[in-house]
Amino acid sequence: MAVPRFWREIPSRYNLIGSRCGNCNKVMFPPRHICPHCRRIGKLEPYKLKPRGKVVSYAITHVAANGFEDQVPYVLAIVELEDGPRLTTQITDCDPAEVKIGDEVEIVFRRMGEEGEDGVLYYGYKGKLVKP
Amino acid sequence: MDVGIVGYGVYIPRYRIRVEEIAKVWGDDPERIKHGLLVEEKSVPGPDEDTATIAVEAARNAVKRAGINPQEIGAIYVGSESHPYAVKPTATIVAEAIDATPHLTAADYEFACKAGTAGIQTCMGAVEAGMIKYGMAIGADTAQGAPGDPLEYTAAAGGGAFIIGKNGGKTIATIEGTYSYTTDTPDFWRRDMRPYPKHGGRFTGKPAYFKHVLSAAHGLLRELELTPQDFAYAVFHQPNGKFPLQVAEELGFSNEQVMPGLLTPKVGNTYSGSSMIGLAAALDQAKPGDRILVVSYGSGAGSDAFSIVARDAIEAKRDAAKTVAEYINNKAYIDYSTYAKFKRMLVR
Amino acid sequence: MRDVAVIGVGITKFGELWDVSFREMIIEAGARAIEDAKIDGKQLDAMYVGNMSSGQFIRQEHTGALIADHAGLVPIPSTRVEGACASGGLALRQAVITVASGIHDFVVAAGIEKMTDVLSGVAMGALATAADQEWEVYVGATFPGLYALMARRHMYEFGTTEEQMAMVAVKNHQNACFNPCAQYHMKVTVDAVLNSPPVTLPLKLLDCSPITDGAACVILAPAEKARKFNDTPILITGTGQASDSISLHSRPSLTSLRATTEAAKAAYKMAGVGPDDIDLAEVHDCFTIAELMAIEDLGFCKKGEGGKVTQEGETAIGGRIPINTSGGLKGKGHPVGATGIAQAVEIVQQLRGEAGKRQVDGAEIGLAHNVGGSGGTAVVHVFKRGD
């Protein structure tokens, strides 16, 4: 991913900045530029989501996406955040066999990848199971 | 001096490798290593962790405990000898990830294992001078030890973050004073573009670690007119379990004063994180009024000593973030081959 | 609007066609369609080409004109249409709309993908560009990964089993054995699927459609002129297309593709039929779970019962509603941009009664369902015998 393309999304990637519609109050992540419900009458403002949620589904990746080869097997998941929106993320720091639908997850800060050996490093969010 | 600690936080990765697992690879006797270094296991960063991610997690915990608006942080210094970039600051990543940008100053520090405490001193000065309201100092590392080097048994990962501000209602501990002792002593180094550090073997002991830690401690006690009996806790840089106990004994501190802040046996040496996490562990237990001595050590060489007194606010803030003990106890053991994979010793 | 008929179909062998180029493939499919339609190439008025990613696969864009040139069809208008793996279905829809509108009479709808000129890792990366690069692929999602998320949730909500998913692969490989152009003429067993290497669990290698080279082509004409060319013109009586968020996490359901239900609703309405009227269907089984979800979303069974009806043989040839008689994407192969057209070729051959050993007896009405990405685009067509 080109540097400016990564860089301009840093607030969302580091701090879960999504959008909230001032008209219908719906919270969205990733951020949107127009409210899909209210369209032009909706007024979107940045909204910081709470870094907590639950696993809606998960999959154990053995054939990695480009750039993630060193991390197999890794758990890909859709997490529903407490604020409502869902996001696709990895579940890190776990034995893949531990993950179940409905598990509580906190969002943590992790290294996502790199632009080759001498390119920039990418950081962003991953989920981590919250053990009872 | 009228500055103190407003918040603190640590982060230690979840993975651990036992001394036995490493010893097996090199044909060493694990019992001899465990007795010789007083280390049982060490923390290992996951494949998606580095000094920046560790620093961010520690910083977020510190902000939680401080209960301040991160926009009021005027300076962030990240001390490490394993910054992810040779050129490009870790501190900006941290600043962005805790929402402290853009109205602040930031920089990375390097002074072997004491770059974090150097950051605390910088923050103290800037706060005392009225340049900033709060400053954040972080010591974090994913320490490198060459495979087969004795350092491999201890070189660990972790970090601590401290938010420094003027003494006031939010302060959880007052910093009474600091004293540094610095000389040019090449006991441990890593040349540019080299993956692993080299060290002077036994030369790292007496003329290096002991001379500097003892001199800084003596200097601080003398300046503040304090004796070991005035302290509830003493935290010394802990490259292994043995050095800090020896230095404590020489200074006249008891095991009871040292053990709460001695984490090497369970975590290993987190380099720039070492004395920072040790101090955090002491603060996790300290009662209001308890005095804590902290002496860091960075090869090359220098020591920063601090005298810190816990205040009333500490009780209420302690549980606002994960404690050192919680991080130590949440662990998953890995074998050497997984360790090699995580440390990217296996290159595809 | 005019009624639209298919007067000719053509398709290449699907597979790893190392010795055949992009240009040769499309010419071969096109020439067969022209022969089949018994039309003179000079009569053709326009062309739409479904192609997902020639830029990534062969570093060649501008393939609409390239194909017109190499087919000897310049100067007719030739337009490339892109909707990820639904590109072919979208090209067909554009061709239908063009003929129906009266702008052109004889219009080619083609589809092509040349996927094996790059290594499989590169091909995987190219396919992943159909997912949300910023918020899915960036975090490590792959296409099998996204469908595995759907599969896991389908298992959780409806009790669907990995065995039932495997039965989709077993059936489609079986059907492919009777299709001369299919990539695989190789039967698989449930055990073989379950024991195949993990890709993204719960999906294993044999739950996934392969990487395939191939091209397909159909020629459309106004229904009133179709009979001059063909005794059994096949009418396209319904077309429907719908869009959805391309990122799976932005959709309310992981177990139903809203784009499919919406596209089907439109196509059924236009054709004046319902799911019970369909005699056979080609559905988008890029992964086994996708076929189960498709037959539910198209109304061939109740939501959640896709696994059950598959297990009971209802979707096999000779069953209540034969699905993917061609072998589907799983057995026939999935040259992504060609798939939507290849589906149309199969339905036309079936409705003409030309499907040989895989023929569905007395097939009158057929349906083709083509999906882009993980469900951001879906397009459905309903076909009917013209006699």
Looking up residue C55, the CATH number of its domain turns out to be 3.40.47.10
Please tell me whether residues C173 and C261 are part of one structural domain: yes
Residue A114 covered by a domain: yes
Domain contains A2: no
Whether residue C231 is predicted with pLDDT greater than 90 in this model: the reply is no
Shared-domain flag, residues C283 and C148: yes
Question: Quick check: A78 and A86 in contact, CB under 8 A?
Answer: yes
Model confidence band, residue A132 (pLDDT cutoffs 50, 70, 90): low
pLDDT tens for residues C336-359? 999 999 999 999 999 999 999 999
Q: Which of C226, C256, C279 is the last residue of a domain?
A: C226
CB atoms within 10 A of CB C343: 32
Which residues from A are below 8 Å from C144, CB to CB? 59, 61, 63
Residue B31 a catalytic site member: no
Question: Tell me, what amino acid is at C352?
Answer: R
- Please tell me whether residues C70 and C33 are part of one structural domain: yes
Pick the closest to residue C35 from C217, C235, C181, C182 (CA basis): C217
Lowest mean pLDDT among A64-73, C257-266, C348-357: A64-73
A111 three-state secondary structure: strand
pLDDT at C2: 96
Query: Same domain for C92 and C170?
Result: no
Whether C320 and C203 map to the same domain: the answer is yes
Domains of chain B: 3-171 (3.40.47.10), 177-314 (3.40.47.10)
Token code pair at residue C358: 């895989």
Contact B147, B306 (CB under 8 A): no
Written as six digits, the tokens of C193 are 């699927």
Provide the domain count of chain C: 2
The total number of structural domains in chain A stands at 1
Same domain, C252 and C375: yes
B123 is catalytic: no
| Residues of chain B contacting residue A97, judged by C-beta atoms under 8 Å apart | none
**Mean pLDDT value across residues B223-237:** 98
Give strand ranges (E) for chain C. Answer: 4-11, 46-50, 78-81, 107-113, 198-201, 203-204, 214-222, 234-243, 280-282, 365-372, 377-385
Nearest to C207 by CA among C246, C151, C157, C132: C151
The answer, for A114 touching chain B at a CB cutoff of 8 Å, is no
- Distance from the Cα of B231 to chain A's closest Cα (Å) equals 36
**What is the average pLDDT score of chain C?**
97
- Establish if C125 belongs to a structural domain: no
Tokens of A27: 């919270």
pLDDT over 80 at B347, yes or no:
no
Residue C20 falls inside a structural domain = yes
For chain C, positions 104-163, list CB contacts with chain A under 8 A.
121, 124-125, 128, 132-142, 144-145, 148-153, 156
Residue C114 sits in the same domain as residue C174: no
A12 inside domain? no
What residues form DSSP beta bridges with A52?
Answer: A106
Beta strands B173-185; B3-11: pairing state: antiparallel
* C351-375 b/e (C-beta count within 10 Å ≥ 16 → b): bbeebeebbbeebebbbbbbbbbbb
Q: Which of B348, B1, B282 is nearest to B167 (CA)?
A: B1
User: What CA–CA distance (Å, rounded) separates A56 from A78?
Assistant: 5
pLDDT at B316 over 90: yes
Residues in chain B, total: 348
C220 lies in the same domain as C249: no
Q: How confident is the prediction for chain B on average, in pLDDT?
A: 96
Structural domain contains residue A11: no
Task: Please give the residue range of the domain that contains residue C218.
Answer: 4-119+211-226
Question: What pLDDT band is residue B169 in, cutting at 50, 70 and 90?
Answer: confident
Chain C residues close to A56, C-beta within 8 Å: 153, 254
